[in-house]
Structure 1
Amino acid sequence: MPEGHSVHRIARQFDRNFVGKTMQASSPQGRFAEGAAVLDGREAVSVKAVGKQMFLETEGDLWLRVHLGLYGAWDFAGEILLDPTIASANGRMGQTNQRGTDLDAAILDDAGENSLASIGAPRRTRVHVRMSEQTKGLADEGAQWPPPVVGQVRLRLMTDITAADLRGPTACELQTPDEMLATVAKLGPDPLVGDPAENEERFVRAVRRRGVPIALLLMDQSVVSGIGNVYRAEMLYRARLNPYTPGKQVPEELVRELWRDWAHLLPIGVETGQMMTMDDLSPQDYRAAMASRDDRHWVYHRAGLPCRTCGTEIVLEELGARKLYWCPRCQA
């Protein structure tokens, strides 16, 4: 499932390519035909991401809510104004997948630092890209326009030069402003949305009043927005916190450290497109980590391998119907 950094990246692309423009909307699959008919001909006014959900505002006080869920993805095609913090040197979107990327596709300076943010002015390029958690960005120069419909497209949004196809979302619906606000109100705080101090206090209160294991609380989108399986495992390890510790038994300062760590990691994910959770790497190690998940994480997807710190075998268990990776010694 796409974690929060991916959805923020997708929202940036909508901001650059759709906001301020009149959209054509259709539902090639037919499952969103009525909603597409309502959207058709409206101007996109604004867009925002909160955790794992994106909200696109259109004229007439109407919002499109999209939750990609486990299998959803957006495909962009046409003349795309690339966000300089997302684009790579060969015209592709930065990767949103966790399968690794070629070193040649990563933009790294001589010191091994990610330099996407310093590319300069946004560039226009005719490409085809996919943004989801499980698929690579794809480039297809000189593609047919408008692009042919491929597969089960729930919703196609188009301007005169750009198209975005939505496939397989958990949720795709139209909302009034009040309904949108009610949806957002049910979500936990997102470090990139709202007041930082207030967000931290909301998170601390939500965790400290619950007897639920902290590993479950971090995945509860009403407690905190955007954290999925990868960030959950990595944050708990970075905090050296036993995943089964009830929230109300986690010391308040440690709860605050968890929040601040999430506020630290999320912007890195938005910038790089990778859930990078290892700090202070050498230039060589940073390049390796940007190229491969195997070098990017402390415990996630490392079941049976030795802990990078103590050598104890990393454990894989199931908690809340999701895989949980942790070190039984470092996180005892």
Structure 2
Amino acid sequence: MPEGHTLHRLARAHQRSFAGGVVRVSSPQGRFAEGAALVDGRVLVRSEAWGKHLLHHYESGLVVHVHLGLYGMFTESAGPPAEPVGQVRMRMIGSGKAGPLCGTDLRGPTACEVLHEPEVAGLTARLGPDPLRRDADPERAWQRIHRSARAIGALLMDQSIIAGVGNVYRAEVLFRHDISPHRQGKSLSRTEWDALWLDLVELMKVGVRRGVMHVVRPEHDHGAPSYTADRPRTYVYRRAGEPCRLCGATVVHAVMASRNLFWCPACQPH
């Protein structure tokens, strides 16, 4: 599932391509036809992301809400897109602020729906602070974490506590701070939490700028290759059974709250 930086990159791209201009919205596959008709021909005021949610705000006050889920993706095109290929849930064509004509197709999302502003407010109220948003308040997350007996590895993945963090950022930020994913939230000190939050902010900003997650510090970015050819190296994510890049201990794997978990038992003792 795409992590928060991917949604923020999409929001920025759609802001540049469509905001300030009339957008033609359609649903070639038909599943979003009624929603598309409500916003078709309207001016897109702004595009924003909150965690793993993408929000397109139209001048009518209606908002298109997209959650990509496991399989959703946008494909962009310069100029009018060609005939739809595959199951295109939503197609957008426009030229924000008299720029060049652009198009984008959305396929396979978990959610693609039209909401009213009160519904959007309800959605965002259920989400925790997003490290990539300027209005994020890390204190909200801390107040829940330092009272919780749940494992910090589970708390970081709870979108109602922190919005946008996924499996990779969870595994890597805990390794970078020598924190076992099995420690209870209430065992963390305020100093540890503040350091975790600031690191998440910086790592996710890098993800927005570069389009991929760079989590290994430059002095450690050597040796064994990444878990896949088109991704930068990680410390522990998807490296179960391999030696830790720092201490040589074997990286281990478990399942926590139905998600794969990776850590170094030597660098991150419980």
Query: What amino acid maps onto 2:11 in structure 1?
Result: A
Residue of structure 1 in register with 2:120 after alignment = 180
Aligned to 2:98: none
* Pairs within 5 Å for 1:303-314: 303-314=240-251
Over the matched positions of the two proteins, sequence identity in percent amounts to 44
Aligned counterpart in structure 1 of residue 93 of structure 2, from 150, 158, 161 = 158
After superposition, give the CA deviation of every residue in 1:24-74 in whole Å (9 maximum; x if it has no partner): 111111111100111111110011111111111001111111110110000
The residue aligned with 2:159 is 221
What's 1:108 paired with? Answer: none
Q: Which has the higher contact order (CA 8 A, sep 6+)?
A: 1
Q: TM (normalized to structure 1)?
A: 0.75
Change (3 A) 1:273 1:36: same
Q: Deviations over 1:149-181 (max 9, x none)?
A: 011111111126211111111111111111111
Equivalent residues of 2:212, 2:231 under 8 A apart: no
Instruction: Please give the alpha-carbon distance, in whole angstroms, between the structure 1 residues aligned to 2:187 and 2:31.
Output: 46
2:199 to 261, 265, 268: 261
Q: State the partner residue of 2:28.
A: 28
d(CA) in 1 for partners of 2:92, 2:232: 37
Matched residues in 1 for 2:266 and 2:128: separation? 31
1:203–1:259: 8 Å Cα contact kept in structure 2? no
Q: Which amino acid aligns with 2:43?
A: E
Tell me the SS of whatever aligns to 2:208.
Answer: helix
Aligned residue type for 1:229: N
TM-score (norm 2): 0.92
Match of 1:149 in 2: 84
Separation of aligned partners in 2, 1:175 and 1:211: 35
Could you say which residue in structure 1 is the equivalent of 2:266?
A: 329
**Per-residue CA shift, 1:173-196, capped at 9, x if unaligned?**
111111111111111111222335
Aligned Cα RMSD in Å? 1.9
In structure 2, give the amino acid aligned to 1:153.
V
Distance in 1 between residues matched to 2:18 and 2:117, nearest whole Å: 19
Cα distance in 2, alignment partners of residues 191 and 62 from structure 1: 26
SS in 1 for 2:209: helix
Q: How does 1:227-306 map to 2 (within 5 A)?
A: 227-281=165-219, 292=229, 296-306=233-243
CA change 1:274–1:237 in 2 (3 A) is same
Q: Is the 8 A contact 2:213 2:232 kept in 1?
A: no
Q: Which amino acid aligns with 1:150?
A: V
- Counterpart selection for 2:148 from 210, 214, 234: 210
| Residue 111 of structure 2 corresponds to residue 171 of structure 1 | yes
Question: Are residues 310 and 186 of structure 1, via their aligned partners in 2, closer, same or farther at CA, if it must alter by over 3 Å?
Answer: same
Name the structure 2 match of 1:38: 38
Q: 1:274/1:281 Cα in 2 relative to 1: closer, same or farther (>3 Å)? A: farther
1:46-195 paired onto structure 2 within 5 Å: 46-79=46-79, 145-159=80-94, 161-195=101-135
Report the CA distance shift for 1:159/1:28 in structure 2 as closer, same or farther (over 3 A): same
Measured against aligned partners, the alpha-carbon deviations of 1:65-123 in whole angstroms (never above 9, x if no partner) come to 111011000011124xxxxxxxxxxxxxxxxxxxxxxxxxxxxxxxxxxxxxxxxxxxx
Structure 1 residues 294 and 13: CA distance shift in structure 2, 3 A: closer
- Say whether the 8 Å CA contact 1:153–1:165 is kept in structure 2: yes
The letter for the 1-side match of 2:213 is: M
Contact 2:129 2:163 in 1 (8 A): yes
* Partner residue in 1 for 2:8: 8
Deviation of 1:292 after TM superposition, in Å, equals 4.7
